[in-house]
């Protein structure tokens, strides 16, 4: 039998289906590894061994009774801690929610349960997903398994460090401006943000409602496709969820053919500001695609220049409203000031104590962007920038099937390096943000190791809205070009955490 | 709290022009709430009609109730409004413990209906056309109970308790444009307008329309300006004036209060005020200030509402008759004098009388029952007349028996009492209580002869032509018959036997 | 160009119901000024005739039928509350005692 914890989700699913390993055995292997290594990576905020094993046992029983619930039946999974779960605390990385056990499951969690995928635990994130490094988690940063002194990306650094450190075969993330793709890039894993609305947001603790989307974090493109097929689909609880299915991503991966593939390189995201090794990896991807027969052209998206600015107005604005419900009345922390305070003062004291500095910064920025007299200049203009970005993308997709960019401007930086410089931190998402503003799907696939620091780099693939299958097709092609060279997923080269 | 000084009403009206504006909130009677599937139910145990969405739990999302949209469009149509090609929801952001998400989902810049009008007829028959600015959809808040302190009011309370059963109940807020020219009739116009709205939504069956339950609530804006002045005066908004009488009184009070301040050279503070029906005055609430910045923005969790023309026309077909036209039609059909009709209308008894007539009673007898005996009984029981346990059909049935001579008015009242006491249908009450006019003339004659014999002086008087003296004998006979005789027939028989 | 004064920060913090100390106000004013300066460029990007996009994927008329769905139990509803009494959520007085 192959080493369980270094297997892909697809391989584990096959082991289970062919009865070569049980879900309990596999889940146990991961739990053992989590218990010995989570202290090093801080990937998980909550682990409940017996609950996970119970779910695994149920999966085994169902299979024994001849009922396979999904292609990933029995494969355990890690879930980002901003999805509600009735059987585990849900904190969203914040002190204000410490210990809160929601009375309902997120739709995605329900789908995982229906797919008989045992939940290994809840993964760390920047508080309310505000950040690119998990350094803003109220429960301490997660560590990058490639170098424990470095960030695993954010906000979904718990999921990316769990997957790349083999503390989970696969995980759920959420992506508002790159929180799945950026962590995937800097940990050498695969991460996909589906088209806005492809996956229900019901039960996802909202950061910015018009940007948030749930998606898979995985070892391989096929694993990501398998998981996206499990979690996507219309949900009447989410009015913005797409009415129709986007089809099977697994089929798109399996049928991927480079013949006729037209790839656009975004001019604005291919030259300046990228770390040399990241740029070299990207150039290598382009060269590989050309050599394999894809048509690669440069496309111009001038309004991308305004994307980060628009994003840092829309996100805080929506977040300031979404986070207003954290008021000490119905759930979560209550902080009592001295004396006999009014509820207004209790709320203000609770929010002062329960929210970290980045959350407060963004709430106040968002309050400003929406306040009377400033709305048109800030929030209103930012919403217009979205239109311009959509127009640029529409023009680009007239010419090409997918766009590619480096996922992140640099490889993983050192913990603490940017924590006091919000602007520098915000620029990590420069390449990922346009997809959220426009609602289109985006995915990061490993494309090598930067020579100067030996850390992984990722290439981002963008496709038109609703054409997630095109994105998976291109991602699968790129991945296979690299696997042909490497012989295995990049994550197989992660250092041995046990000896670090 | 000290009562403010007031200018005498006539003097205030003489000097100032009154401008009013009314915001009426109508709670829709949908089965489920506006944005979630919880029951829209009055009177449930606290926090039992709640879910993650209406409790504003992290991760929850809204989903719009189709019926609520339909009802809102219907209200817009009934108010002669334009229906928006595209309407959308926005978030109105402010913190308050009864507001689960600390924002209210409400239509702001794109209301579902706008630019309408409604005709309002005062008691004198004078008509006003009230211009409607907009009707928009929003959600209700939860209910606060203030505990401790002397009064159960928010002032001086030790703590408050929140029940979110009402949170997320669909509301339609109907906002008028400024209403000019009502002069001394402004308070009456305000109350009558609210009543017209209430009657419309009740007739449409889009709301239970019970003001005492808060199904229809009014905020009244009042401002004054010197006669002839161009510029509008500063307005106050009196919140939650929850009966027709309160609307009238609150507007009148604000006119007098503002007039006194302005006449003394003072200025009106733009603020919300609260009406205290028990004490007959308004008190200052929160002043409007820069702090009122609701930071509206389009609700990203909901998509625009774009009703098709076909849908709107389908809804239009379901609209009931316009209440004003209906009144005209009914008065003609019933042949009531103005006073008689107003009596019925002002007592809110149009439906009851109409249904009683439909069940076979004459309009006049139906009117007499409802505005007379039944109104008296409701009053005595301290309930509203529509809550009396008798149906228009039963009233009509009783009236038919009277018309057929099988019941007297007096016996009929006993039958009504039996029905109200839960003794069953009129026929069952008559059966079990043994109530029926005695038509056995032998028994009547025996009773009359006995009465005449015991009152020889009366017999003399009758024989002398003093026929009114028969009354004394009628009383005795009716008593003997335990009321179950037709008094007119008894009188005829007395005169016959006295010959 | 930005006018992020300490008073404005105080006002915004009170709108957002966040208690702030004087030091925090000064720090936030400085940080926000830098951020606002860098995001204010959105102004130059757009002209009046560009429509605003509030929803990335355009959809309209998404409704649910008027059907009652199961609610939480009172116990579930109150399960996360810091304080409750009589089946209700308990909060401190709304108004200051005068
Ligand atoms: Mg309103
Ligand atoms: Zn609900």
ipTM score for this prediction: 0.96
For residue C75, the model assigns a pLDDT of 98
Q: Determine, yes or no, domain membership for A346.
A: no
Chain C residues inside the 8 Å CB shell of A301:
none
For residue C97, the model assigns a pLDDT of 65
For residue B1, the model assigns a pLDDT of 46
Closest CA of chain B from A209, distance in Å: 6
* pLDDT more than 70, % of chain C: 96
Give pLDDT tens digits for B422-455. 999 998 988 888 777 777 778 888 888 888 888 8
pLDDT higher than threshold 90 for residue B383 = no
For residue B325, the model assigns a pLDDT of 82
How far is B149 from B155, CA to CA, in rounded Å? 8
For residue A350, the model assigns a pLDDT of 98
Single out the catalytic residue among A23, A179, A200, A328: A179
What does C42-74 look like in DSSP terms, one character per residue? HHHH--TTSPP-SSSS-----EE-S-------H
A19 tagged catalytic: no
Q: With residue A51 as reference, give the H or E element that holds it.
A: helix A49-64
Bridge partners, B18 (sequence order): B224
The distance from CA C44 to its chain's CA centroid, rounded to whole angstroms, is 26
Nearest CA in chain A to B297: A370
Chain C CB within 8 Å of residue B63 CB? yes
Q: Determine, yes or no, domain membership for A393.
A: no
C81/A465 CB distance under 8 A: no
Confidence bin at C1 (pLDDT 50/70/90): very low
For residue C98, the model assigns a pLDDT of 53
pLDDT higher than threshold 80 for residue B384 = yes
The distance from CA B344 to its chain's CA centroid, rounded to whole angstroms, is 13
Mean pLDDT of C63-85: 98
CATH (domain of A479): 3.90.1300.10
Chain C CB within 8 Å of residue B62 CB? no
Chain C residues inside the 8 Å CB shell of B291:
11, 14-15
Nearest CA in chain C to A313: C39
Mean pLDDT of chain C: 92
What six digits make up the tokens of A41?
A: 């990576």
SS3 B299: coil
Nearest-CB residue to C16 (from A305, A320, A343) = A320
Chains near B (3 or more Cβ pairs under 8 Å): A, C
Mean pLDDT of A89-104: 98
Closest CA of chain C from A337, distance in Å: 11
Interface of B with C in 15-54 (CB under 8 A): 30-32, 36-39, 45-52
Q: Which has the higher per-residue pLDDT, B66 or B232?
A: B66
Confidence bin at A46 (pLDDT 50/70/90): very high
Q: Specify the DSSP class assigned to residue A473.
A: H
The distance from CA B148 to its chain's CA centroid, rounded to whole angstroms, is 32
Q: Specify the DSSP class assigned to residue A267.
A: G
What is the number of the ligand closest to the CA of C70? 2
SS3 B194: helix
Query: Using an 8 Å Cβ cutoff, are A406 and A279 in contact?
Result: yes
pLDDT higher than threshold 50 for residue A9 = yes
How many CB atoms within 10 Å of residue B175?
18
Chain B CB within 8 Å of residue C57 CB? no
How far is A121 from A168, CA to CA, in rounded Å? 9
How far is A173 from A170, CA to CA, in rounded Å? 10
Mean pLDDT of chain B: 91
How far is A307 from A462, CA to CA, in rounded Å? 15
C61/B305 CB distance under 8 A: yes
Interface of B with C in 271-290 (CB under 8 A): 290
Ion ligand 2: residues, CB < 5 A? B 36, 38, 51, 53-54
Best mutation target, A243, A316, A349, A384, to test chain C (most C CBs within 10 A): A384
For A352, phi and psi rounded to 5 degrees? -65, -45
A343/C12 CB distance under 8 A: no
pLDDT higher than threshold 70 for residue B2 = no
How close is the Cα of B56 to the center of ligand 2, in Å? Answer: 9
Nearest-CB residue to C68 (from B32, B66, B157) = B32
How far is A343 from A329, CA to CA, in rounded Å? 9
What six digits make up the tokens of A176?
A: 């508002």
Give pLDDT tens digits for A105-119. 999 999 999 999 999
What six digits make up the tokens of B49?
A: 């009609």
What six digits make up the tokens of A274?
A: 């990228």
How far is C36 from C34, CA to CA, in rounded Å? 6
What does A431-462 look like in DSSP terms, one character per residue? TTHHHHHHT--EEEEEEEE-TTT--EEEEEEE
For residue B488, the model assigns a pLDDT of 78
How close is the Cα of C76 to the center of ligand 1, in Å? Answer: 30
Best mutation target, A330, A333, A363, A365, to test chain B (most B CBs within 10 A): A330
Closest CA of chain A from C1, distance in Å: 13
SS3 C2: coil
Nearest CA in chain B to A366: B295
For residue A2, the model assigns a pLDDT of 52
pLDDT higher than threshold 50 for residue A1 = no
Strands annotated E in B379-474 = none
Nearest-CB residue to A204 (from B59, B102, B295) = B59
| CA nearest neighbour of A131 among A59, A183, A200 | A183
CATH class name, domain B441-498: mainly alpha
What six digits make up the tokens of B456?
A: 């020889």
Q: Considering its fold, how many domains does chain A have in total? A: 1
Question: Which of A196-210, B49-63, B112-126, B456-470 is predicted with the least confidence, judged by mean pLDDT?
Answer: B456-470
pLDDT higher than threshold 90 for residue B495 = no
Give pLDDT tens digits for A159-185. 999 999 999 999 999 999 999 999 999
The distance from CA B14 to its chain's CA centroid, rounded to whole angstroms, is 32
pLDDT higher than threshold 70 for residue B215 = yes
Single out the catalytic residue among A155, A248, A320, A476: A155
For residue B476, the model assigns a pLDDT of 83
Question: Which of A55-59, B391-395, B472-476 is predicted with the least confidence, judged by mean pLDDT?
Answer: B472-476
Question: Mind listing the domains of chain C with CATH numbers?
Answer: 1-46 (1.10.20.60)
Q: Determine, yes or no, domain membership for A219.
A: yes
Query: Using an 8 Å Cβ cutoff, are A108 and A230 in contact?
Result: no
Nearest CA in chain C to A435: C56
pLDDT higher than threshold 70 for residue C2 = no
pLDDT higher than threshold 90 for residue A473 = yes
Domain boundaries, chain B: 9-315, 321-433, 441-498
Closest CA of chain B from C57, distance in Å: 10
Residues of A59-77 as b/e, b for ≥16 C-beta within 10 angstroms? bbebbeeeebbbbbbbbbb
Task: Give residue A12's domain range.
Answer: 4-267+398-493
Whether the link from the prior residue into B371 is cis, omega within 30° of 0, is: no
Nearest-CB residue to B66 (from C64, C73, C80) = C64
Give pLDDT tens digits for A259-292. 999 999 999 998 778 999 999 999 999 999 999 9
Chains near C (3 or more Cβ pairs under 8 Å): A, B
Q: Determine, yes or no, domain membership for A349.
A: no
* pLDDT more than 90, % of chain C: 83
What six digits make up the tokens of A418?
A: 């940017």
Q: Determine, yes or no, domain membership for A289.
A: no
Mean pLDDT of A206-226: 98
Mean pLDDT of chain A: 96
Alpha carbons within 13 angstroms on the beta-carbon side of residue C42 total: 31
Q: Specify the DSSP class assigned to residue B211.
A: G
Specify the pTM.
0.88
pLDDT higher than threshold 90 for residue B466 = no
Chain A residues inside the 8 Å CB shell of B55:
330
| CA nearest neighbour of B407 among B477, B486, B493 | B486
Closest CA of chain C from B335, distance in Å: 42
Chain A residues inside the 8 Å CB shell of B301:
206, 209, 238-240
Chain B residues inside the 8 Å CB shell of A341:
none
Question: Which of A345-354, B103-112, B139-148, B224-233 is predicted with the least confidence, judged by mean pLDDT?
Answer: B224-233
How close is the Cα of A491 to the center of ligand 1, in Å? Answer: 55
Q: With residue C43 as reference, give the H or E element that holds it.
A: helix C42-45
A179 tagged catalytic: yes
What is the number of the ligand closest to the CA of B23? 1
SS3 A118: coil
Give pLDDT tens digits for A405-435. 999 999 999 999 998 888 888 889 999 999 9
């Amino acid at each position: 039998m192959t080493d369980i914890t270094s297997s892909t989700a697809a391989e584990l699913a096959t082991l289970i289906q062919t009865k070569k390993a049980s879900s309990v055995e596999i889940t146990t292997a991961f739990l053992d590894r989590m218990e010995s290594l989570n202290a090093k990576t801080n990937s998980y905020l909550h682990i409940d061994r017996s609950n996970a094993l119970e779910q695994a046992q149920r999966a085994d029983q169902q299979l024994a009774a001849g009922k396979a619930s999904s292609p990933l039946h029995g494969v355990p999974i890690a879930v980002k801690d901003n999805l509600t779960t009735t059987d585990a605390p849900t904190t969203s990385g914040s002190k204000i929610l410490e210990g809160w056990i929601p009375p309902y499951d997120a739709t995605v969690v329900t789908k995982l349960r229906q797919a008989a995928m045992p939940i290994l635990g809840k993964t760390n994130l920047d508080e309310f997903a505000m950040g690119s490094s998990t350094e803003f988690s109220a429960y301490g940063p997660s560590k990058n398994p490639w170098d424990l002194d470095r960030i695993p990306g954010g906000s979904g650094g718990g999921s990316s460090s769990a997957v790349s450190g083999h503390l989970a075969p696969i995980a759920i993330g959420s992506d508002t401006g790159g929180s799945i793709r950026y962590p995937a890039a800097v940990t050498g894993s695969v991460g996909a943000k589906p088209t806005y609305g492809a996956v229900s947001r019901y039960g996802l603790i909202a950061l910015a409602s018009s940007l948030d989307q749930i998606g898979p974090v995985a070892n391989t493109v096929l694993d990501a496709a398998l998981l996206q097929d499990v979690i996507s689909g219309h949900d009447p609880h989410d009015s913005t969820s797409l009415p129709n299915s986007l089809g099977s991503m697994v089929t798109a991966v399996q049928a991927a053919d480079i013949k006729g593939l037209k790839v656009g390189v975004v001019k604005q995201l291919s030259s300046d500001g990228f770390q040399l090794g990241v740029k070299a990896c990207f150039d290598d991807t382009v060269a590989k695609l050309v050599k394999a027969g894809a048509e690669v052209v440069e496309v111009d998206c001038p309004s991308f220049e305004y994307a980060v600015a628009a994003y840092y107005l829309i996100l805080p604005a929506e977040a300031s409203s979404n986070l207003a419900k954290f008021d000490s009345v119905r759930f979560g922390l209550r902080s009592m000031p001295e004396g006999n305070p009014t509820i207004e003062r209790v709320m203000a004291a609770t929010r002062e104590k329960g929210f970290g500095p980045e959350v407060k910064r963004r709430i106040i920025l968002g309050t400003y962007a929406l306040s009377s007299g400033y709305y048109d200049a800030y929030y209103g203009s930012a919403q217009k920038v979205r239109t311009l970005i959509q127009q640029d993308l529409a023009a680009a997709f007239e010419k090409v099937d997918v766009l590619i960019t480096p996922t992140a401007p640099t490889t993983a930086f050192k913990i603490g390096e940017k924590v006091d410089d919000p602007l520098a931190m915000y620029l990590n998402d420069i390449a990922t943000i346009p997809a959220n503003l426009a609602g289109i799907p985006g995915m990061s696939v490993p494309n090598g190791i930067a020579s100067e620091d030996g850390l992984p780099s990722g290439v981002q693939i963008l496709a038109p809205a609703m054409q997630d299958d095109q994105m998976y097709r291109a991602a699968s092609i790129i991945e296979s070009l690299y696997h042909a060279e490497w012989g295995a997923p990049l994550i197989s080269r992660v250092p041995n955490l046990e000896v670090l | 709290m000290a009562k403010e000084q007031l200018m005498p009403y006539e003097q205030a009206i003489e000097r100032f022009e009154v401008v009013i504006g009314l915001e009426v909130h109508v709670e829709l009677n949908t089965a489920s709430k506006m944005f979630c599937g919880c029951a829209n139910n009055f009177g449930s145990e606290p926090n039992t009609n709640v879910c993650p969405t209406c409790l504003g739990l992290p991760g929850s999302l809204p989903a719009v109730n189709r019926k609520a949209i339909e009802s809102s469009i219907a209200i817009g149509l009934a108010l002669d409004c334009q229906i928006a090609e595209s309407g959308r929801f926005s978030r109105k952001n402010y913190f308050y413990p009864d507001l689960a998400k600390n924002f209210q989902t409400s239509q702001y810049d794109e209301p579902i209906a706008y630019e309408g009008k409604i005709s309002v007829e005062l008691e004198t028959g004078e008509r006003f056309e009230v211009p409607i600015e907009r009707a928009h959809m929003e959600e209700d808040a939860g209910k606060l109970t203030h505990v401790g302190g002397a009064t159960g009011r928010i002032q001086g309370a030790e703590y408050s308790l929140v029940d979110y059963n009402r949170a997320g109940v669909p509301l339609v807020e109907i906002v008028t444009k400024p209403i000019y020219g009502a002069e001394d009739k402004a308070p009456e116009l305000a109350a009558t307008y609210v009543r017209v709205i209430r009657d419309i939504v009740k007739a449409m069956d889009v709301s239970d329309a019970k003001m005492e339950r808060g199904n229809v609530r009014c905020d009244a804006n009042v401002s004054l300006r010197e006669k002839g002045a161009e510029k509008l005066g500063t307005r106050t908004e009196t919140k939650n004036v929850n009966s027709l009488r309160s609307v009238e009184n609150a507007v009148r009070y604000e006119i007098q209060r503002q007039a006194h301040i302005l006449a003394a050279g003072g200025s009106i503070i733009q603020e919300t005020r609260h009406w205290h029906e028990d004490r007959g005055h308004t008190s200052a609430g929160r002043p409007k200030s820069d702090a009122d910045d609701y930071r509206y923005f389009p609700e990203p969790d909901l998509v625009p509402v774009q009703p098709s023309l076909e849908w709107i026309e389908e809804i239009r077909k379901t609209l009931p008759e316009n209440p004003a036209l209906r009144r005209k039609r009914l008065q003609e059909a019933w042949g009531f004098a103005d006073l008689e009709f107003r009596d019925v209308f002002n007592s809110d008894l149009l439906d009851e009388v109409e249904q009683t007539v439909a069940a076979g009673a004459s309009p006049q007898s139906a009117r007499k029952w409802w505005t007379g005996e039944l109104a008296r009984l409701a009053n005595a029981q301290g309930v509203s007349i529509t809550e009396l346990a008798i149906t228009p059909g039963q009233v009509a049935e009783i009236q038919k028996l009277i018309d057929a001579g099988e019941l007297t008015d007096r016996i009929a009242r006993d039958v009504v009492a039996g029905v109200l006491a839960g003794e069953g249908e009129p026929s069952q009450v008559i059966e079990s209580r043994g109530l029926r006019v005695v038509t056995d003339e032998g028994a009547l004659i025996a009773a009359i002869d006995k009465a005449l014999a015991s009152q020889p002086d009366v017999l003399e008087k009758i024989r002398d032509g003093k026929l009114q003296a028969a009354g004394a004998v009628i009383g005795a006979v009716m008593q003997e018959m335990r009321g179950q005789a037709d008094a007119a027939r008894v009188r005829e028989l007395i005169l016959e036997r006295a010959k | 160009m930005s006018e992020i004064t300490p008073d404005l920060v105080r006002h915004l913090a009170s709108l957002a119901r966040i208690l702030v100390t004087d030091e925090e106000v000064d720090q936030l004013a400085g940080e926000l000024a830098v951020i606002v300066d860098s995001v204010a460029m959105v102004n130059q990007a757009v002209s009046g005739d560009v429509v605003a996009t509030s929803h990335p994927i355009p959809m309209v008329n998404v409704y649910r039928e008027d059907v009652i769905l199961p609610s939480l139990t009172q116990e579930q509803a109150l399960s996360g509350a810091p304080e409750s009494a009589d089946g209700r959520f308990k909060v401190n007085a709304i108004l200051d005692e005068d």
